Amino acid sequence: MNIGYSTGSIAKGDFNLAIEILSSHDITAIELSALRENEIRTLITSLNQLNLSRYQYVSFHAPSKLELIEENELIDILQSVPEAWPIIVHPDIISNYKEWEVFSSQLCIENMDKRKPCGRTVRDLQFIFNQLPEATFCLDVAHARQVDPTMSQCYQMLKVFPERLVQIHLSDVTSDSNHVPLNMQAMDAYKRIIGNIPNNIPVILESPLFPGPHQQERIAKEIELARDLFYERAAFAQ
Amino acid sequence: MNIFQESSKVEEFLRDKQLQLPAFEQCSENTQRLRNRLLKFYQNDPFSPDADFVVFGSIARNESVGDSDVDWTLLIDGQANPAHANYANEIRRKIDEGPFKKPGTAGTFGNTTISHDLVHYIGGELDTNKNITRRMLLLLESERINFRQNESEDGNAYDRVIKLILQQYFDHDSGLTRKHKETIPRFLLNDMIRFWRTMCVDFAYKQKEQQGQKWGLRNIKLRMSRKLIFVKGLLMCFSQYKKDHIREDFIDSMGNKVAMHPFELFIDLKEHFEIDDDDIVKLLKSYNVFLADMNNNDTRKKLEEMDMEQVDSDNSFKTLRDNCDDFKGTLDSIFLKKSSKLKDLTLKYGFF
């Protein structure tokens, strides 16, 4: 299976540094993050120069807030992302669904945390997918757990949208909605649903581990935890 | 006007039976007015996703009468925040200053409720009368006042806490988790029965403490509206009778039933449980009589003032009591007398 990391969780606003840090780790997937809108233009113009040949799976995370650029401007910019890369989008930045249809299945909607007004549950997502019938799905298990700690919503998401699922976001999220590294409590909750995630779905870690003491060791440990978690998924199948 | 949420099954049933339920409709209109007043408390949702303004009782059942109490709580599920107490005080002030009847003085309502107690203390010494009442009412007759009218009802504190409570009833029910045979959620059923009997015992306790005051009103409510939510609890639990329970499906299925009125649940499950339509019609008619009496200011006032010594000599109370007897008779018939899946389940799990 493909396990990888989001560049935004390794070096905020510096994708080149993140790619360099990740180059020494045993991963086969990467998500190029432009979560903050001031990062997107630089990232887009650099795409051709990035050496991503070692990765079997690449995705692109669009900004999570639009304050400096307009929605239609963002859509124009995102059209430079290679077609093979899913574009991960937070549904609360979408106001004009029609405009986003241009991306077809490349548009990958992520489920949201409890702060967001939409995209948190199966019902919310169903509404979005009705507007964007071709769109695919990125399941953020930490968001799903924060919204429903019993994991029943997460389970239902996997049951209702299996055809749309293209990627998993993995980390933990605190009650004030900050992403944090994996821990036993979060992993125990994820074990309840990972049996329902097909083996070919890439897992992108979003555990924030920024440059500092022991960063490389901590990244390696986080990847190992993710690998261990998914390795025995058959045992958790329902 | 939809008297039970927006259930097309119920509407179809009422149409099919050509059943007019004017008191239900009147109470539904009262409730909508009350709900609209509560919604005016805040122009925008003041709460973070960690808190929800939740109401119980007649508002949640869509059965408010002219002077129904507003039994409310500010349900907290998240980080401690001093602002929560401020919001609770503000809501209390708005209730006090508005055209609302305040909640009772027992302290069960009218303040904040922290999710941890509801989720962690199921049974044991810390599961106080107040705690079980709040927990059961969340499952049986509660409603979140949604200040974000255009947004989803899911994924908020109210929704999370209900799911977590249901998870506890699943995870600690060995019959469900071991998946050996067809069964129902017995842990939850036992708590539903405990809650119903707690309400009955509290009725006698209040009779003693308040020296028989308001006995008439309490007695009629216990025999009708309180009993009806117990019936909802039974239907919810029995609806889960099967083998190989899956926790997430259980939480989803039971979570959907939380929002349903007991009669909506009856109609929804009637084929499954082999319940006669005629019996449901009888129940609806009896309940309509009860609501009409509750919604009649003179009758209600008289009942409120009637103590235990007076009821036997009062003809109007006798009429109300006869209606309660009819209601009980029909429930006996549905759950205990007529052959049906529901009777089988009641006999199998309801007593021993």
The dihedral sign for the CA sequence B11, B17, B18, B23:
negative
pLDDT at A205 over 80: yes
Q: How confident is the model at residue A89, as a pLDDT?
A: 98
- pLDDT tens track for B26-70: 999 999 999 999 999 887 777 878 899 999 999 999 999 877 789
Which SS3 state, helix, strand or coil, does residue A173 take? strand
Query: What is the Cα–Cα distance from B123 to B127, expressed in whole angstroms?
Result: 5
pLDDT at B183 over 50: yes
**Taking a C-beta distance cutoff of 8 angstroms, is the pair A160, B252 a contact?**
no
State the pLDDT confidence band at A74, using cuts at 50, 70 and 90.
very high
Which residue in chain B is spatially nearest to A155 when comparing CA positions?
B248
Query: What is the Cα–Cα distance from A87 to A159, expressed in whole angstroms?
Result: 22
Bridge partner list, A169: A140, A204
pLDDT at B140 over 90: yes
State the pLDDT confidence band at B156, using cuts at 50, 70 and 90.
confident
ipTM comes to 0.75
The dihedral sign for the CA sequence B289, B294, B299, B303:
positive
| Per-chain mean pLDDT for chain B | 91
- Specify the DSSP element, H or E, that contains B266: helix B262-273
pLDDT at A154 over 60: yes
**Residues from chain A contacting residue B255 (CB–CB below 8 Å):** 152
**Residues from chain A contacting residue B252 (CB–CB below 8 Å):** 152, 156
Distances (CA, A) of B227 to A26, B190, B341: 62, 16, 21
Preferred mutation among B159, B248, B257 to probe A, highest tally of A CBs within 10 A: B248
Query: What is the Cα–Cα distance from B233 to B151, expressed in whole angstroms?
Result: 29
**Residues from chain A contacting residue B151 (CB–CB below 8 Å):** 117-118
pLDDT at B184 over 80: yes
Q: Would you list which residues of chain B are within 8 Å, Cβ to Cβ, of chain A? A: 48-50, 78-79, 148, 151-152, 154-156, 159-160, 163-164, 166-167, 246-249, 251-252, 255
Q: How confident is the model at residue A237, as a pLDDT?
A: 65
**Residues from chain A contacting residue B167 (CB–CB below 8 Å):** 149-150, 152
Q: Tell me whether residues A124 and B154 touch, CB distance under 8 A.
A: yes
pTM metric for this prediction: 0.87
Q: How confident is the model at residue B1, as a pLDDT?
A: 45
- pLDDT tens track for A157-185: 999 999 999 999 999 999 888 999 999 99
Tokens in use for B144? 């979140």
Tokens in use for B336? 């205990």
**Residues from chain A contacting residue B76 (CB–CB below 8 Å):** none
Residue identified by tokens 């005080």 is B89
CA B189, B193, B198, B204: dihedral to nearest 10 degrees? Answer: 170
Bridge partner list, B235: none
Q: Tell me whether residues B163 and A118 touch, CB distance under 8 A.
A: no
Query: What is the Cα–Cα distance from A46 to B220, expressed in whole angstroms?
Result: 75
- pLDDT tens track for B83-113: 899 999 999 999 988 888 877 777 788 999 9
| Per-chain mean pLDDT for chain A | 94
**Taking a C-beta distance cutoff of 8 angstroms, is the pair B176, B183 a contact?**
yes
Please name the member of B49, B154, B164 whose beta carbon is closest to the beta carbon of A150.
B164
Q: Tell me whether residues A120 and B152 touch, CB distance under 8 A.
A: yes
pLDDT at B226 over 80: yes
